[in-house]
Structure 1
Amino acid sequence: MVEISKHMFDSTCRDVPCNVLLHPWHEHCLASYVPTYTRSLIGSAKFYFIIHMVQNLMKGKKILKREELMKAVEYYARSTLFGALVSGTCGTFACTIRRLLGNKLTYYTYILIPNMINGIFILLEPPSRRGLIVDLFVNLVIEYWTRTFDRKGYFSMTKGKQTLMFMVGSALLFYLMRLEADSNRKTPLLWLFTPEKVRRKTEDSKTVCPHAGPCRPFILKGFLKYFGIGFGFTMLRVLGPRLGTPLKALSQLRWRHLDMGLFFGSYIGIYRAVICYLCKTHGADSAMYALPAGCLAGLSFSFKPSLGFAIASLTGAFKLYSTILYERKIIPDNIPISVILYCISQGVLFHARFLHPQDCPGYVVKLTNSVTNGMDKVIEASLRQMVKSVA
């Protein structure tokens, strides 16, 4: 889909009534709030129900405790309110800003600034979830900018470069995770694997490796477990939409559907194998071993290249390093950097969703469509119809 530049938007949409571009379902701003907030609440409730259900199921029997059930209900309610307010207030803030500017709508006040402002609602999420959401949105912004620069010819992001990025990111990430394992401050990370703590050498130690028992079963167990997780994700994606016709769905399976499983399984298997080899070679464990182990494990990225994974490895490492800077008081605790990052990221991503869709990550499109309960498509269609009619 063609992007809408600043010049194109300002020349065609500056004086257009807000109901055309912000709430096409009703002519008047106040009257449009009822369907806007209602649909936002419904869409947000549906979207977060699936996410929270999966997260709670992963807790196993622990979720059956009364305290955990109460916490699960509270967290779901907070997430639903967060999504509904972000979706609903986008139009509210944009209409308000438009009136303050003399009934003029600009390229930046249409989606970007309103969604930077309502990003403050991230504070509704509990701190344990907030950090992961910020990580996700920062990763998506970097992915969006990378796609934009690639399309404009500033640089080409080949599979080889993505693999190298993932190898470096994995090495730094695993090293910093092992360093942090002995720290009192734990950083929540959006990552698929947590490496074992460094085993301190003692006289009673029967092994120098960071695990109990023989190495081969430990390595094989890691490979099989994460192969199963990766393959399971693929099956959900392939078979989920076709559950009504299971035989037809199974006939769609191909060898390429093993890619995610091979990526996850070999990633963990190679990492553990290198760690065990270095521990036995040197007779002791060290956090430094994570550097070559993570780097070599990153070669598994070639099974399932993904720009998002490559970026996430580097941003995860940066987040862990920033925790070290906080502990050393280099970054003051009274600056809410994570909230500021989220507000900027949300504004940029939702701005890209409507005005630069060709570079916008697919997850953002699905997110806005789900949380707005389809209102985003109505707004986008009205916007493009307006630009097309004037052009």
Structure 2
Amino acid sequence: MVEVSKQLFESTCSNIPCHHLLHPWNQGCWTSTYLSYKNSFIGSAKFYLVVHLAQNLARGKKILNKEELKRAGENYVRSTIFGALVSGSCSTLGCLFRWLLGNKFRYHGYILLPSTLNGVGILLEPPSRRGLIVNLFSNMLIEYWIRSLERAGYMKMTKAKQTVLFMFGSAILFYLMRLEGDKENRTPLFWIYTPDKVRRKTDHSQNVCPHEGLCSKYIMKGSLTYFTVGLAFSLARVILPKYRTPLKALTSIRWHHFDMAMFFGSYIGIYRAVVCYLCNKRGYDSALYALPAGYIAGLSFLFKPTLGFAIASLTAAFKVYSTILYEKKILPEHIPLPLMLYCISQGTLFHSRFMHSEVCPSYIFKLMNTVSNGCADILYANMLEVIKRAS
């Protein structure tokens, strides 16, 4: 992977014809449009099929409802169109910016500006999914900035620092999630676990904990359930690529493939255990118990430390808090702040895929190459070839 600076790019690629770096499958800017969008629709359909299947399966029996199936199909089509338009319009907008900037490639006009502008395509996604996508991209944007600072020598994110970050994020997130537990429409989050709402003192139950039955059964059930979920994810990544050779797939399983299962299982088990302890100790339930419970449970992060997870806990907490700010009219509703955040995040991350590959989150590589049906890797290889020839 090569770090491509502004000076290096403009000194080597400025006068290169646009079809070399934007649409090598056809020399004409407009005649290449059909193939650009065709590849993008194919790639987008493949990518979002996996994404939507995974999300719908995670919802369990609700997806069996006829109305839910219809809505799921509609959401898949909207996501596919969104991905195809974003990917397909990159070459069209790239050619446009090149023409506007004097028929020369500019560092910020190649990928950054086109990918920032076409980020408005997220409006094609249903509102229920937009928040999750904005949250995902803002997570990766922060991850990219942190990695950039690390590479520059300004900071170093050790395992201990990441763990503390995750512990604080978990504590705040679980607290805010319990605060809005009684709301009919909770803030949509793609998080490991949704805590039970606070049991009010007026509830006609002898149990002061936020669950029915024995605490030990409640704790063990949650821990085992999420241990199984984590193990299933890990083993699926190992076994599915080698499904044609089952014996080889099974023998490739190692102890580190249980890390995610240990992380998920202990995370939920510790959280539930601390909440139950405090409920029984104080004689009533409270949203405040989520603060120490989430903080202590965050120690489970040591089983599977990843910078993305550490950041995600804090950004998810901020998302819930931003809902409160909108409800209190502190954040203006007439200014599309989430849309602006997404456009900036997408533009910066797609730009980093080409110019700062060493610090670009790995998910962006997979996303861009799959949705473009392999075209992103071709364009990147062409750019490096131009730079190599000029050096």
TM bin (shorter chain): over 0.9
CA displacement at 1:354 relative to structure 2: 0.9
Amino acid at match of 1:93: L
Q: Taking structure 1 as reference, are residues 203 and 301 closer, same or farther at Cα in structure 2, changes over 3 Å only? A: closer
Provide the residue aligned with 1:281 in structure 2. 281
Provide the residue aligned with 2:272 in structure 1. 272
Deviations 1:114-145 (A, max 9, x none): 00000000000001111101111100111111
Q: Taking structure 1 as reference, are residues 202 and 69 closer, same or farther at Cα in structure 2, changes over 3 Å only? A: closer
Amino acid at match of 2:373: N
CA displacement at 1:185 relative to structure 2: 4.6
Structure-2 separation of matches of 1:7 and 1:203? 67
Q: Is the partner of 1:154 in helix, strand or coil?
A: coil
Provide the residue aligned with 1:127 in structure 2. 127
Counterparts of residues 116-265 of structure 1 (less than 5 Å):
116-202=116-202, 204-265=204-265
Deviations 1:297-341 (A, max 9, x none): 000000000101000000011111111111111101111111111
CA displacement at 1:58 relative to structure 2: 3.0
Structure-2 separation of matches of 1:273 and 1:57? 28
CA displacement at 1:203 relative to structure 2: 7.3
CA displacement at 1:202 relative to structure 2: 3.0
Provide the residue aligned with 1:34 in structure 2. 34
Contact 1:114 1:347 in 2 (8 A): yes
CA displacement at 1:85 relative to structure 2: 0.3
Contact 1:199 1:285 in 2 (8 A): yes
Provide the residue aligned with 1:318 in structure 2. 318
Structure-2 separation of matches of 1:247 and 1:354? 39
Structure-2 separation of matches of 1:163 and 1:129? 29
Residue 340 (structure 1) aligned with residue 340 (structure 2): yes
Deviations 1:4-42 (A, max 9, x none): 001111111122111111112221111211211111110
Residue 294 (structure 1) aligned with residue 294 (structure 2): yes
Structure-2 separation of matches of 1:94 and 1:241? 36
Structure-2 separation of matches of 1:259 and 1:203? 39
Structure-2 separation of matches of 1:8 and 1:290? 51
Contact 1:136 1:190 in 2 (8 A): no
Structure-2 separation of matches of 1:104 and 1:112? 15
Deviations 1:223-265 (A, max 9, x none): 0000000000001111110001010110011111111000000
Q: Taking structure 1 as reference, are residues 302 and 61 closer, same or farther at Cα in structure 2, changes over 3 Å only? A: closer
Structure 2: gaps spanning 5 or more residues: none
CA displacement at 1:69 relative to structure 2: 2.2
Structure-1 separation of matches of 2:286 and 2:355? 49
Amino acid at match of 1:126: P
Structure-1 separation of matches of 2:68 and 2:272? 33
Amino acid at match of 1:312: A
Provide the residue aligned with 1:309 in structure 2. 309
CA displacement at 1:184 relative to structure 2: 4.5
Q: Taking structure 1 as reference, are residues 203 and 362 closer, same or farther at Cα in structure 2, changes over 3 Å only? A: closer
CA displacement at 1:61 relative to structure 2: 3.9
Amino acid at match of 2:307: L
Provide the residue aligned with 2:389 in structure 1. 389
Task: Give the percent of matched residue pairs that are identical in Structure 1 and Structure 2.
Answer: 60
Residue 366 (structure 1) aligned with residue 366 (structure 2): yes
Provide the residue aligned with 1:62 in structure 2. 62
Amino acid at match of 2:280: K
Deviations 1:61-114 (A, max 9, x none): 433333222212211111110010000000100101111122021110100010
CA displacement at 1:51 relative to structure 2: 1.4
Amino acid at match of 2:339: V
Amino acid at match of 2:143: E
Give the stretch that moved more between structures: 158-167 or 333-342. 333-342
Amino acid at match of 1:94: G
Structure-2 separation of matches of 1:322 and 1:57? 29
Structure-1 separation of matches of 2:217 and 2:368? 44
Q: Is the partner of 1:30 in helix, strand or coil?
A: coil
State TM-score, norm by structure 1.
0.98
Structure-2 separation of matches of 1:181 and 1:87? 38
Provide the residue aligned with 2:21 in structure 1. 21
CA displacement at 1:53 relative to structure 2: 1.8
State TM-score, norm by structure 2.
0.98
CA displacement at 1:361 relative to structure 2: 0.7
Give the stretch that moved more between structures: 145-154 or 162-171. 145-154
Q: CA RMSD in A?
A: 1.1
Structure-2 separation of matches of 1:247 and 1:154? 47
